[in-house]
Every structure is written in structure tokens, then in C-alpha cells.
Amino acid sequence: MPERTPIAEVKARLERAKSVTVLTGAGISADSGVATFRGADGLWRNFRAEDLATPEAFARDPRLVWEWYNWRRELIATKRPNPAHHALVEMEKRGRRFWLITQNVDGLHRAAGSEQLSEIHGNIWRVRCTRCGQISENRQVPIPILPSCSVCQGLLRPHIVWFGESLAQRDLEQSYAALESCEVMLIIGTSGVVYPAASFAPVAKQAGAFVAEVNLDPTPNSDLMDVSIRGRASETVPLLL
């Protein structure tokens, strides 16, 4: 009997699985034309993303930080979910336990129709009041700078987890619960080396899950995988259905 291809192996595992957990990163959004906003793509007016996405930068110059986020929002507003986003929505609908963990803040998973998900780094289309703490959706493009809270007129900030900030406890609890109970874990478009995401594959494997990655290039975690599939998320993930 010929050996199964990696795609056939993952597809067979998914068909049998009663619970599936998925982790996505910048690679799935890149196929929709969303820049990473880090490294070469992150340079804006000679500022690096790492210099602007911090509480200290916002405290020092909230107008500058909001101008950068407005630029990002204007770019992301023109992008649409791709076939990989839609394939994950289809996986969610197949009547089993399913949870999607995304590191992306662009909101494309929600736009595609995903409902069972944790946006562990936040969502660029949500804002949080720095005075009263209220979180709300805001899709104004361009957004008025500086935006103020409709409840208390306090200064709004992007509802994003910035460098140096902790992830929301509820998101972490939901994510680890899904990882510890899944039979199959898919890691799509991310190297998975930044914590806490770096711990996700080991947690799932320790719990007995079959773990597979879909990525254009090998990652530092490729040796930990049961299966590694090389390719674009938008082309490869639909083949797993």
C-alpha cells in the first residue's frame, strides 16, 4: 500500500477527530495581502512596530501611535478573508469541538464567520477606554484622532496586546483548555516561537494530540510536528477538508 501523503494523513486525522484546535499567525493573513507590520513591512515614518506598539509609546505620544494604527486600519480595511479563513469556518461547522486561536489582530477570521475563537493579541477593530475600561467595536476609517469614549469622554486606545503587556486571562484559559482536550492541532502560518504560543504545540502533544503545521518554510518547531506541510495557507488548508 502506498504511503499516505502529508495532506492525506492530516485529512484522515481530521475526519476522525472529535476535537480540533487551530493556531494561526501572520502567514494566513499574508495570503489576503495583509502586511506583517514587523520587520521590513513594519517600517513607518522611520519608526519600527516594536517602537510604537507599547504602553510607553502611547503614554508619550498617543497621537503618533493612533496615526500609525489608523494607517494600519486603512490598509486592512481593503483586505478580505481568503480560502484558508473560509476552510476553517467550514471545519468549525462540522459538529465537533473546535477552537481557533489566532495571533492576528486584523479581524479576518471573524469576517469569514469564525465564532469559536480567541484573538489572543486583540483586534484592531476594537477600542478600549483608558479611563473607564469599556471595550467597543469601532470601524471608522479614518478614525478621528484622538478618539474619545462615548461613555466618559476618556481617551481610547486600540484593544491590542502591546509589547510588555500580558494576554487576557480568559483567552489564555480558553486556549489551554482547547489544547489540552484536542485530538488534532493545526498550526497555520506561524513559527510559533513567541510565548505563550511557543508552548501551545508541546501542551497539545503532551495531551496526546496529533500536531501538524502548514507553513511556507520550516520553523524552529518543525521537528516537534507529526506532520509538516509546506505551502501557502490559502492553497493548502482547503485541501484538508
Residues 85, 5: Cα–Cα separation, whole Å: 23
100 and 211 share one domain: yes
Q: Which of residues 107, 135, 160 is at a domain's end? A: 160
Give yes or no: residues 177 and 236 share one domain: yes
Mean pLDDT across the stretch 129-143? 97
Question: Is 121 a catalytic site residue?
Answer: yes
The closest of 58, 73, 71 to 130, measured between CA atoms, is 58
109 within 8 A of 24, measured Cβ to Cβ: yes
Q: What angle do CA 192, 12, 212 make, to 5 degrees?
A: 10
117 and 131 co-located in one domain:
no
Gap between the Cα atoms of 153 and 149, Å rounded = 4
Query: What CATH number is attached to the domain comprising 184?
Result: 3.40.50.1220
Asked if residue 152 lies in contact with residue 132, where contact means CB atoms within 8 angstroms, the answer is yes
Kindly report, residue by residue over 78-112, the tens digit of the pLDDT. Answer: 999 999 999 999 999 997 899 999 999 999 999 99
User: Which pLDDT score, from 0 to 100, does residue 48 have?
Assistant: 83
Place of cell 522611520: 46
pLDDT of residue 44: 77
pLDDT at 45: 78
Could you report the per-residue pLDDT of 174-203, keeping only the tens digit for each? 999 999 999 999 999 998 778 888 899 999
Q: Which residues contact 63 (CB under 8 A, 6 or more apart)?
A: 145, 146
138 and 30 within one domain: no
Clarify whether residues 235 and 144 are in a common domain: no
Q: Verify cis geometry, omega within 30 degrees of 0, for the bond prior to 167.
A: no
pLDDT over 60 at 2, yes or no = no
Number of domains in the chain: 2
Q: Is the residue at 1 inside a domain?
A: no
Q: Which domain holds residue 149?
A: 35-78+122-160
Could you tell me what percent of the chain has a pLDDT over 90?
Answer: 84
In this predicted structure, the answer to whether residue 20 has a pLDDT above a threshold of 50 is yes
Give pLDDT tens digits for 201-230.
999 999 999 999 999 998 888 888 999 999
Active-site residue among 85, 109, 121, 159?
A: 121
Domain boundary among the residues 160, 187, 209 is at: 160
